[in-house]
């Protein structure tokens, strides 16, 4: 039996996007345009040639394509254009609120100033108001770099503290447990920043990493993290504490053989606040509505389940209770009328 959910329904669904790497929205068109503008030879000249380089089947092979591409991002205007391109797409997906990840170390390590990155991105989040989107930034630490690099990055970022709302943790998880960054998470919390972190799919020690995040570091959300289903006690804990789990079906099906829809449905049924997002949409074949539709289609989701996933996205976002109620009311009205 086919799902009752249509592509149009997922597109118009009011939603919050909470797991979106801005560097992962760099579409081949913009990559080529920026390469030309900045006089950078990326080794490809057409969209087809760029797409031919998109060969990956796990996290490490994806990251090996992802980081070198960022070299086309040089000036404040480039970061602004990158974010505005994404935000225009988000508006078409009826994203009402977005919390955007950015990786300063991927840029400062190539000689681009922190200020260049954050000012370009921040200006786009301000201009997003004209698109009726409330956009915020989350600064991620690259977990495969040193603690000292993360410490320096956090220290430098604090002078721009009014321009981002939280910290995250991403990049290669292999042998890089969350506890490596315990001090940075503690320090960030002291400064009033929110805290989330990736627990990528099917990693060595996935469950231990999720346990560290929930029981020791005290994150508010886990990015991916569906391996938690392997530990019923942790699932119960996550449900009780209303921890958000940001799942990305299309990205999952690139870096593992599965979309992890079964795990998402299990978490949903156990009262965990799991939600659907797009991760690196320019690399994984779809924006957030495509991700909703992909999981709905493959796992035969009901409209009610899809609406619940969207509701969870608002409930676990870092906005005021009043603002959450406004968005949820909008969502309920949409669900009733469509
Ligand atoms: N950086 C960009 N996308 C990522 C992902 N899915 N996991 C870890 N690091 C990332
Ligand atoms: Zn991610």
Q: How do the domains of the chain map onto residue ranges?
A: 7-26+73-337
Confidence (pLDDT) at 1: 66
Q: What is the mean pLDDT of residues 189-212?
A: 98
Q: In percent, how much of the chain has pLDDT > 70?
A: 100
Q: Which atom of ligand 1 is nearest to the CA of 24?
A: 2
| 167 bridge partner residues | 139, 195
Residue 333, classified by CB atoms within 10 Å of its CB into exposed (0-12), middle (13-18) or buried (19+), is exposed
- What ligand is nearest to the CA atom of residue 18? 2
Confidence (pLDDT) at 226: 98
**Distance between CA atoms of residues 47 and 265, nearest Å:** 36
Over the stretch 104-139, which tens digit does the pLDDT of each residue have? Answer: 999 999 999 999 999 999 999 999 999 999 999 999
| Ligand 1 cavity residues, CB under 6 Å | 21, 24, 59, 170-171, 198, 200, 251, 279-280
Q: Whose CA is nearest to atom 1 of ligand 1?
A: 171
Over the stretch 312-323, which tens digit does the pLDDT of each residue have? Answer: 999 999 999 999
**Distance between CA atoms of residues 117 and 103, nearest Å:** 9
Rounded to the nearest angstrom, the distance between the alpha carbon of 152 and the centre of ligand 1 is 21
Q: In percent, how much of the chain has pLDDT > 90?
A: 99
Are the beta carbons of 168 and 140 closer than 8 angstroms? yes
Q: Whose CA is nearest to atom 9 of ligand 1?
A: 171
Confidence (pLDDT) at 199: 98
- Order the strands of the 244-247 sheet from edge to edge: 15-21, 95-102, 134-142, 166-170, 194-199, 221-224, 244-247, 273-276
Q: What is the mean pLDDT of residues 194-223?
A: 98
**Distance between CA atoms of residues 99 and 166, nearest Å:** 9
Over the stretch 261-295, which tens digit does the pLDDT of each residue have? Answer: 999 999 999 999 999 999 999 999 999 999 999 99
- CA 290 to chain centroid, in Å, comes to 15
Q: Whose CA is nearest to atom 10 of ligand 1?
A: 171
Would you say the C-alpha torsion 73, 75, 78, 84 has a positive or negative sign? positive
Q: What is the mean pLDDT of residues 59-77?
A: 97
- The three-class DSSP label of residue 166 is strand
Confidence (pLDDT) at 293: 98
Are the beta carbons of 18 and 134 closer than 8 angstroms? no
- Grade residue 2 by pLDDT with cuts at 50, 70 and 90: confident
- The three-class DSSP label of residue 161 is helix
**Distance between CA atoms of residues 245 and 273, nearest Å:** 6
Confidence (pLDDT) at 217: 98
Q: What is the mean pLDDT of residues 34-63?
A: 96
Q: What is the mean pLDDT of residues 184-203?
A: 98
Confidence (pLDDT) at 88: 98
Residue 247's closest CA among 303, 313, 188?
Answer: 313
- CATH top-level class for 7-26+73-337? alpha beta
As a residue count, the chain comes to: 338
Please check the confidence at residue 174 and state whether its pLDDT lies above 80.
Answer: yes
Which of 18, 19, 21, 54 for a ligand 1 pocket mutation test, highest count of atoms within 8 Å of Cβ?
21
Q: What is the mean pLDDT of residues 220-246?
A: 98
Residue 164, classified by CB atoms within 10 Å of its CB into exposed (0-12), middle (13-18) or buried (19+), is buried
């Amino acid at each position: 039996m086919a799902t009752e959910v249509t592509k149009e329904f997922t597109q118009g669904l009011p939603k919050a996007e909470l797991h979106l790497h801005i560097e992962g929205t760099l579409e081949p068109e913009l990559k080529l345009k920026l390469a030309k503008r900045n006089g950078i030879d990326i080794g490809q000249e057409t969209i087809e040639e760029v797409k031919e380089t998109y060969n990956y089947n796990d996290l490490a092979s994806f990251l090996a394509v992802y980081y070198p591409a960022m070299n086309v991002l040089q000036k404040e205007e480039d970061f602004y254009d990158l974010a505005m391109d994404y935000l225009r797409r988000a508006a078409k997906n009826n994203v009402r609120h977005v919390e955007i990840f950015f990786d300063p170390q991927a840029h400062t390590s190539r000689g681009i100033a922190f200020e260049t990155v954050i000012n370009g991105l921040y200006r786009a989040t301000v201009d997003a108001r004209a698109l009726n989107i409330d956009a915020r930034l989350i600064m991620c630490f690259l977990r495969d770099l040193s603690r000292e690099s993360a410490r320096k990055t956090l220290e430098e970022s604090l002078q721009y503290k009014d321009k981002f709302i939280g910290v995250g943790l991403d990049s290669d998880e292999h042998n890089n447990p969350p506890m490596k960054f315990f001090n940075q998470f503690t320090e960030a919390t002291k400064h009033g920043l929110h805290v989330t972190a990736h627990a990528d799919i099917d990693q060595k020690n996935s469950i231990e990493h999720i346990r560290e995040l929930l029981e020791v570091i005290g994150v508010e959300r886990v990015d991916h993290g569906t391996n938690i289903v392997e530990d019923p006690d942790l699932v119960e804990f996550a449900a009780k504490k209303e921890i958000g789990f940001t799942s990305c079906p299309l990205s999952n099906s690139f870096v593992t053989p599965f979309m992890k829809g079964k795990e998402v449905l299990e978490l949903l049924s156990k009262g965990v606040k799991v939600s659907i997002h797009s991760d690196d949409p320019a690399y994984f074949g779809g924006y957030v509505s495509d991700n909703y539709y992909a999981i709905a289609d493959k796992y035969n989701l009901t409209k009610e389940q899809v609406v619940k996933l969207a509701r969870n996205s608002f409930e676990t976002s870092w906005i005021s209770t009043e603002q959450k109620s406004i968005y949820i009311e909008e969502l309920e009205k949409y669900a009733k009328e469509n």
